């Protein structure tokens, strides 16, 4: 096996990822070298002529092969940053996405100036929303997750970030909180049956249970909007992340259920990504 230096490994990774059609090949090659060497970007620059050890080289080949098969980079790295906070991720839990930061922004704006606020995050997954809200406000957050693997990540991420979040292992459909909340947030599964057929290869490695939102993708919105209204305090708010082109329908669902001050918030790509409403 030809011995690779950090420099040749990096350049080769860039080339192979590019050839595999991965748009963010430069960024990803850097992340992979960081992962394998344990060096940060400046150490990589300083030590570019260093040779990979046989162990690192085996790892490198393995990582590159898996990534070229479109296995998510986030799962390979085992962690990912969301809202400037690091989260453990792996198979069985949805990877935190930058789009979802829009929901955190909404939540934090709503909580501004509220003391002793109580927040509920439904379909919490890795806990990225719950932890980001807790770390950036005074609020106490309850996070509900049903599935074993995802729940394990939720617990680890709360612990890793020392966040004021209580993990609750329950099903959103049966959970019956003993208190009322100022704010309920959720990024539920929202992909429709038709769209499930055409998801990205990367996304196909993520759990269907975090993606599939029933035939039309709206099952969770209908249920949560209806059944969790009674769990909101007077003046409280419900905020959802929604999929591309779902905002009008989800606004209508909130309206049918009697929510007021219904609105949307746009993500970085100009997509209406958050739909919210309040109760009297």
Q: Is 272 in the site for ligand GLN (CB under 6 A)?
A: no
Site for ligand GLN in 141-170 (CB under 6 A): none
The site string for ligand GLN over 182-211 (x = CB under 6 A, - otherwise) reads -----xxxxx-----------x-------x
Site for ligand GLN in 72-101 (CB under 6 A): 97
User: d(Cα 26, Cα 11) in Å, to the nearest integer?
Assistant: 9
Q: Nearest to ligand GLN by Cβ — which residue? A: 190
User: d(Cα 138, Cα 234) in Å, to the nearest integer?
Assistant: 20
For ligand GLN, the closer of residues 187 and 278 by Cβ is 187
- Minimum CB separation of residue 13 from ligand GLN in Å reads 25
User: d(Cα 25, Cα 15) in Å, to the nearest integer?
Assistant: 8
Closest CA to 126 of 62, 74, 173: 74
For ligand GLN, the closer of residues 118 and 145 by Cβ is 145
User: d(Cα 149, Cα 39) in Å, to the nearest integer?
Assistant: 29
- Minimum CB separation of residue 187 from ligand GLN in Å reads 5
- Residues with Cβ within 8 Å of residue 5, at least 6 apart in sequence: 48, 49, 50, 51, 52
DSSP state of 5: B
Residues that bind ligand GLN (CB under 6 A): 97, 187-191, 203, 211
């Amino acid at each position: 096996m030809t011995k690779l230096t950090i420099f040749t490994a990096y350049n080769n990774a860039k080339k192979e990822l590019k050839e595999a059609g991965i748009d963010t090949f430069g960024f990803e090659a850097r992340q992979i070298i960081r992962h394998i060497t344990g060096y940060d970007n400046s150490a990589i620059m300083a030590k570019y002529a260093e040779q990979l050890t046989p162990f690192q080289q085996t790892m490198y080949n393995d990582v590159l092969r898996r990534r070229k098969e479109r296995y998510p980079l986030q799962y390979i790295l085992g962690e990912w940053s969301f809202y400037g906070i690091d989260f453990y991720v792996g198979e069985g839990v949805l990877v935190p996405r930058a789009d979802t930061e829009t929901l955190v922004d909404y939540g934090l704006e709503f909580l501004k100036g509220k003391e002793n606020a109580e927040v509920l995050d439904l379909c919490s997954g890795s806990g990225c929303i719950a932890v980001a809200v807790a770390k950036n406000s005074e609020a106490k957050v309850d996070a509900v997750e049903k599935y074993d693997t995802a729940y394990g990540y939720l617990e680890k991420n709360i612990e890793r970030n020392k966040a004021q979040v209580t993990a609750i292992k329950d099903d959103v459909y049966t959970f019956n909180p003993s208190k009322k909340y100022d704010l309920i947030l959720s990024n539920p599964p929202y992909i429709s049956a038709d769209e499930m057929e055409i998801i990205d290869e990367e996304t196909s490695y993520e759990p269907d249970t975090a993606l599939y939102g029933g035939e039309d993708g709206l099952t969770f919105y209908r249920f949560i909007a209806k059944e969790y209204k009674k769990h909101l305090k007077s003046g409280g708010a419900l905020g959802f992340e929604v999929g591309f082109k779902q905002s009008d329908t989800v606004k209508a669902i909130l309206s049918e259920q009697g929510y007021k001050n219904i609105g949307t918030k746009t993500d970085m790509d100009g997509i209406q990504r958050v739909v919210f409403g309040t109760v009297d």
